[in-house]
Structure 1
């Protein structure tokens, strides 16, 4: 009897499960049509039934119904009711209604009726948010990214007005460089794989995990104060609208870099393909003392064992490179845990994995260094050192992201974890030509080899909670995000053979020097946390919003460098400049024979520890001062303390966790938005922001680039007229903007902006270092910048209805910048003033482009699944490194980037997609020049990325 009862219960469970599985789901998001914000508590009912629910704190709802076609009725107090007709539901499938807008009611409530197809406007919510936002912003939504078919975040960022993408990965805004641009992830600081940049590498994020990307072009109190040009925030998805599993593969071919038998490389470790070294390049854990490595018979065993503990490979070799390739998989879904519960709990999950392997080869690389001649009547520049050669690089990038989110109607908790692993193996061969006629040069020629491996990893955990107190009108949002990052250069190898007068080769300290090996280790911990509290209320019947919050950011970095230099007990001459001849076993000192030994050459000034504590508090109030004049007033306060442990290069200044920056700053902001019409705004704002030195800049360290041989010196290093007192830059920002919006994401705007800089930081050539290429970050005086910006995005249906799927967009930014030099810089320039030249005490700002042009034309056809576009970008000639004395200024030349993309979706549900892209269609090279009064521009750096063709295939299950 009991068995029969158990069987009956089991059968009922199975039947109910089958019945439930045969149902379909309707999911959607409801927005306030006047503000673009989601609405909480909207009643959503299936017409003529008792089936209904309410939107949660994200404005989302879910209804489980039998297969069929339904009408939905949406209602909310003080808003016009909305009826959505013809919603088709299939068994075991999800029907998504992306953007449902409720508009504020008039005196007489009217029921608005739309069809399900009509409300699938992919950009509606973002367009409304741009129009009603308290900041000047632009962005791109997940829906539009999916429509266009961009594979990575950097590709999508190119479509945001005012954005420039540098080196294929870094996002800059309005032509301002990295120092004045900032990227955040889920509204929190996160360091990229390059810990010395504000900008995050955007090519590491697949677009299928992105909810939206938004660029704020002016500061408000709830944002971090350390940006000026713009802040891009990337928001990752937490609750996918439907179950999705997506896989993708792609390959690309660059005739210059791929399938090239001359590609330069060297033997590494067995795990290089995973983006990290397996220990092949590791420094021994126990390094003998310098005394035990000196060439004496008693030390012979130590020397022989130590030298032989390293790889004997010091030179690059040629090998055939493979095609570039990448692969990825992502999945996500949300599960209704108890659909009949009033709390409607849901569980969402996402997972993404990506792998990318790329080759880069350039056999026409140039690094040059030029100086002015002493003769005042001769304006031409003379080279001091030229390096011409080839560089090969293999780059591997692995990304893993996983997340869980739990949500009820008024509470949400989400947890996301991400790990990025990057390994780059670089081999270069150069011919060095040092000019003895230039100031400070000895004059020599030398063939050289450079080998480097850089491994970087980033692990980020993001925990976020949002809680809505509906009756009280309060919302609480808290976020915590620790990040652990590592950047190591194990075993950088350099060897250069100085050619003597007899055509033979040797090692000379006064010329190309002796072979060396260097290990650099950098580890950093970044922990960001913030709490935001928002209160919605009314002023004279108009909506208002009060926001208060507190944030804390803690960073700590540990940097260490170890250098081993090869020494010779006697003069040795080689007939060939072949690195494989150097470390032969018979050449290593053994007490009687051989001549090679190694000794540590590390400098304590190149190692440092540093940490930052940044505590912030803000209050902001948004209200209508007049019926059409929205006013946003805010104040942010930040207490920023940076501490440093290290010592100067001469050892006279030693810091032990000493404060090197200590500021308590107020950052006021006020913005006015006058609503000229429903679709037009006139904006004006003032704000005060800051740009702070990085850990590397606020150090004594000397860091040598192993490829170009240039040397970075930390800002604490006292040299020339510089006192080692590097300070923050304070910026006053004034912005004015007129903007007009149309449907389907179309808009036009015109802006004027002015920025005043106090103590701007720029890279300056160290004039004392006549024999080497050295530069340093310094405060350079007072600066100002003014500019205009014009943006547009318009469908071509204004010409003909047949062109409705074509869109043309672009933006042009024109700026004029000026820096008033310090007395030291002005005098150093005057000392080498040429005949007929009159040096002013002002010049252009470093890092600021005089113009930026972004333009694109695209075709998107939803029905056919075809999307294609041609996109162009260029920045004007930009001062990169400030000269002085005998050193001319160093400029970046314009790089005309023209790229083409095409993707086609196939199948009834458009689940299969093929992508085709052509990058750098014009075959442009990246060029940097030295410029001086009436002198011919001289090439300082030349890199040719080549033209690449890629094809990819993806499928969504």
Structure 2
């Protein structure tokens, strides 16, 4: 009997105690991240040992005694928020809160909260909450997967591949012309005018914060994308001040001990003589020799110096991240080139040996000034110099000559010297509590040249080499330069409504103006006949002033056979201009956590 009375008393006490409590629930959002949910924030009752953390969706639930209380929301690096409330027994009350980041000083220690978008967890959370179908890979994931540059990173994304011999990636089978590349959301031109998109190999993990791949259309993208947009976010300085130096070396087993052909007039650093100094067709005054140099023991090398530092300027901060890198590599290929006619008859069969040297230098500086509440201005400067030297020797049947037993020897020496300068100013301004303005401007310059491309064609007949006299262009020297200036900008207003649906409106403009100019001059050698014997290892013995004076060949330009023509030294040229003005608008509204309309 006593046991029954005790159990009944405990039941009534527990029931009355439970009826004295209410339930507080709600969502905590990140005001600095466009009202995204804030996971793992602390929610507590002031002065009482009642607390909880928000889940991965920013939601929380607390059981609190009936009465008046103060609810405290906190997160490291954020301003805490206090909300007084009154609750009755059995009542369920919804209290939401938005937190914004701040700096908190505790005994000379400043704790600042920033979202590290190099980490996989932060990028996955952004991808989960994003409206557009975007896949991102950060510096942390790149390191884990053993990739060192943007090209290796994007190939880890589903639907993106890189084919051997192709410079750029394919997205869902679509190549260079169907994709676009941006840096911090602004257009990024290619360093090579032969391609629309820049080579992603230049963007190492020292430069990249993360890379986003957007395979769908969106209002902020230009309308020339059918495959995907690849957006490279440049790295900003975070953490402790540092300076790092890295050195690497390697060998290509195909080239390390090979007698390697090099182009005269080029050097290890890739500094080329860009211009022709020939202005008189009676003078053979080319600076570079047609005879290649030779070297052995080719080593691939790499050098990188990186550093970062932050300066406190009153309540504001200035951070900088600097990168300087140089890499070079040697490669060798050999094979056979074949060509058949419409009837299947063999027209060309040439064995070739190709010697290639590439060297690239990269300089990157990121300077970011943070001031006031959620305001910042950043300067990104990037310089890329890419120099490729390609010397190829071909020998075999070409089918172009009248003599059936003739064979042909072709030597091609080509240098592509490309320079890209990228300068960006990125400004973020908090106008009101709900209204933000992003203003970004980029000025890009491309300076490329093909200095003294040399092409020589000789007939192998009766055991000797002879000049090909069928065409003056069979022995050619070619000089070309291209300059491009690209100005791009955008301004986007973002208004966030104070509602549970996370409604926001983006509206703004995109502008772009590109100007390109190209010039090329060609020098040809018109041989009188094919009787002159040539030593292919000593072409300077034939291509010189003496042969020109003796009438062995005549020096011509691509426009005229003699310099008496007023067009003789006029270069081939073209100018081009591209202008884009575009407005953009986007409305995002979340009906439920699983349904968002944009």
Q: 2 CA distance for matches of 1:196 and 1:139?
A: 28
Residue 541 of structure 2 corresponds to residue 565 of structure 1 = no
Residue 494 of structure 2 corresponds to residue 534 of structure 1 = yes
Counterpart residue number, 1:282: 275
CA distance change for structure 1 residues 396 and 97 in 2, over 3 Å: closer, same or farther?
A: same
Q: 2 CA distance for matches of 1:444 and 1:244?
A: 65
After superposition, residues 187-198 of structure 1 pair within 5 angstroms as 187-198=185-196
Q: Pick from 376, 382, 386: which aligns with 1:418? A: 382
Q: Secondary structure at the match of 1:529?
A: strand
TM-score (norm 1): 0.49
Q: 1 CA distance for matches of 2:203 and 2:505?
A: 34
Query: Alpha-carbon deviations, 1:585-642, whole Å to 9, x = none?
Result: 574233xx4523311114989521111101111111111357743111xxxxxxxxxx
Query: Alpha-carbon deviations, 1:176-221, whole Å to 9, x = none?
Result: 1111111111111111211232322111122123221110010111
Measure how far apart 1:262 and its partner are: 2.5
Measure how far apart 1:514 and its partner are: 3.6
Q: Secondary structure at the match of 1:389?
A: strand
Measure how far apart 1:146 and its partner are: 4.5
Counterpart residue number, 2:506: 547
Measure how far apart 1:233 and its partner are: 0.2
Q: 2 CA distance for matches of 1:330 and 1:352?
A: 4
After superposition, residues 56-95 of structure 1 pair within 5 angstroms as 72=76, 75=80, 79=96
Q: Secondary structure at the match of 1:207?
A: coil
Q: Pick from 456, 468, 477: which aligns with 1:508? A: 468
CA distance change for structure 1 residues 598 and 351 in 2, over 3 Å: closer, same or farther?
A: same
Q: 1 CA distance for matches of 2:108 and 2:291?
A: 61
Q: Pick from 127, 135, 139: which aligns with 2:132? A: 135
CA distance change for structure 1 residues 91 and 372 in 2, over 3 Å: closer, same or farther?
A: farther
Q: 2 CA distance for matches of 1:361 and 1:561?
A: 29
Which has the larger Rg? 2
Residue 292 of structure 2 corresponds to residue 316 of structure 1 = yes
Q: 1 CA distance for matches of 2:137 and 2:383?
A: 25
Native 8 Å contact 1:44 1:73 kept in 2: no
Native 8 Å contact 2:118 2:138 kept in 1: no
TM-score (norm 2): 0.76
Q: 2 CA distance for matches of 1:480 and 1:73?
A: 30
Q: 2 CA distance for matches of 1:162 and 1:614?
A: 30
CA distance change for structure 1 residues 147 and 347 in 2, over 3 Å: closer, same or farther?
A: farther
CA distance change for structure 1 residues 494 and 79 in 2, over 3 Å: closer, same or farther?
A: same
Q: 1 CA distance for matches of 2:484 and 2:427?
A: 26
CA distance change for structure 1 residues 577 and 396 in 2, over 3 Å: closer, same or farther?
A: closer
Measure how far apart 1:154 and its partner are: 2.3
CA distance change for structure 1 residues 493 and 627 in 2, over 3 Å: closer, same or farther?
A: closer
Measure how far apart 1:566 and its partner are: 1.4
Q: Pick from 326, 329, 333: which aligns with 2:309? A: 333
Q: 2 CA distance for matches of 1:44 and 1:335?
A: 34
Q: 2 CA distance for matches of 1:474 and 1:430?
A: 65
Q: 2 CA distance for matches of 1:596 and 1:98?
A: 70
Q: Pick from 428, 431, 438: which aligns with 1:469? A: 431
Q: 1 CA distance for matches of 2:591 and 2:175?
A: 36
Measure how far apart 1:38 and its partner are: 8.7
After superposition, residues 867-946 of structure 1 pair within 5 angstroms as none
Residue 368 of structure 2 corresponds to residue 405 of structure 1 = yes
Q: How many correspondences in the alignment?
A: 512
Native 8 Å contact 1:347 1:407 kept in 2: yes
CA distance change for structure 1 residues 464 and 372 in 2, over 3 Å: closer, same or farther?
A: same
Query: Alpha-carbon deviations, 1:812-861, whole Å to 9, x = none?
Result: xxxxxxxxxxxxxxxxxxxxxxxxxxxxxxxxxxxxxxxxxxxxxxxxxx
Query: Alpha-carbon deviations, 1:673-703, whole Å to 9, x = none?
Result: xxxxxxxxxxxxxxxxxxxxxxxxxxxxxxx
Q: Pick from 531, 535, 553: which aligns with 1:596? A: 553
Q: Secondary structure at the match of 2:548?
A: coil
Q: Secondary structure at the match of 2:268?
A: helix
Residue 351 of structure 2 corresponds to residue 394 of structure 1 = no
Counterpart residue number, 2:337: 367
Measure how far apart 1:122 and its partner are: 3.3
Unmatched 5+ stretches in structure 1 = 1-29, 49-70, 83-88, 101-119, 294-302, 339-343, 374-380, 633-957
Q: 1 CA distance for matches of 2:174 and 2:420?
A: 26
Measure how far apart 1:411 and its partner are: 1.3
Residue 556 of structure 2 corresponds to residue 580 of structure 1 = no
Q: 2 CA distance for matches of 1:95 and 1:152?
A: 32
Q: Secondary structure at the match of 1:403?
A: strand
Residue 119 of structure 2 corresponds to residue 122 of structure 1 = yes
- Tell me the C-alpha RMSD between the 2 structures: 3.7
Q: 2 CA distance for matches of 1:76 and 1:173?
A: 46
Unmatched 5+ stretches in structure 2 = 1-28, 48-74, 83-94, 100-104, 561-569
Native 8 Å contact 1:44 1:72 kept in 2: no
Q: 1 CA distance for matches of 2:406 and 2:36?
A: 67
Q: 1 CA distance for matches of 2:448 and 2:275?
A: 14
CA distance change for structure 1 residues 92 and 201 in 2, over 3 Å: closer, same or farther?
A: farther
After superposition, residues 329-728 of structure 1 pair within 5 angstroms as 329-338=305-314, 344-362=315-333, 364-373=334-343, 381-408=344-371, 409-435=373-399, 444-471=406-433, 473-500=434-461, 502-510=462-470, 514-537=474-497, 541-569=500-528, 572-574=531-533, 576-580=535-539, 582-583=541-542, 585=544, 587-590=546-549, 593=550, 595-602=552-559, 606-624=572-590, 628-632=594-598
Measure how far apart 1:405 and its partner are: 1.2
